[in-house]
Amino acid sequence: MPRVVRAIVDKDGRIIAVLAGCPNDSNWESVHKSGHMALQSARKRCRFPKKARSHRRGNFPALSTGISFGGGQKLPGNLHHSKTNKKQLDKLLRHKSFKRIAGFGSKALRTWAPKLH
């Protein structure tokens, strides 16, 4: 897996994107495999409403979680799910693999765009 970091710059030399690579960790691939297995397990247990199976992002099932503010809402609010779906989403959010992947992304953002972090 490539561990080389590449900054993508515009014609004026401003960084517009960063290919952050991955951590120098020989087990990093297993982090992704573990996360994939967790997603597959949760997918089998979740119930996807019709609008969650095919949407503007593509023809695949997806559930959102967390806080939402859009679609005509006047105030931000927590997204709600069935008891079964909430249990699976909460389990994914606590999963070690996703915490590691998110942590790497957060550290990359902090390194390359500290004012945005």
Q: What is the pLDDT of residues 20-45, one digit of tens each?
A: 999 989 999 999 999 999 999 999 99
Contact present, 7 and 34 (Cβ < 8 Å): no
Q: Pick from 28, 6, 10: which is nearest to 19 by CA? A: 6
Classify the phi-psi angles of 23: left when phi > 0, otherwise alpha if psi is within -120 to 50, otherwise beta.
beta
Across the chain, what does the average pLDDT equal?
93
Element (H, E) at 87: helix 83-94
| Whole-angstrom distance, CA of residue 13 vs CA of residue 16 | 9
Element (H, E) at 19: strand 15-19
Instruction: Tell me the mean pLDDT in the region 49-67.
Output: 93
| Whole-angstrom distance, CA of residue 82 vs CA of residue 80 | 7
Residue 30 tokens, joined: 């297993």
pLDDT at 102 over 70: yes
| pTM of the full structure | 0.81
Q: Pick from 93, 78, 80, 79: which is nearest to 42 by CA? A: 93
**Apex 101 CA angle, 109 and 9, nearest 5:** 35
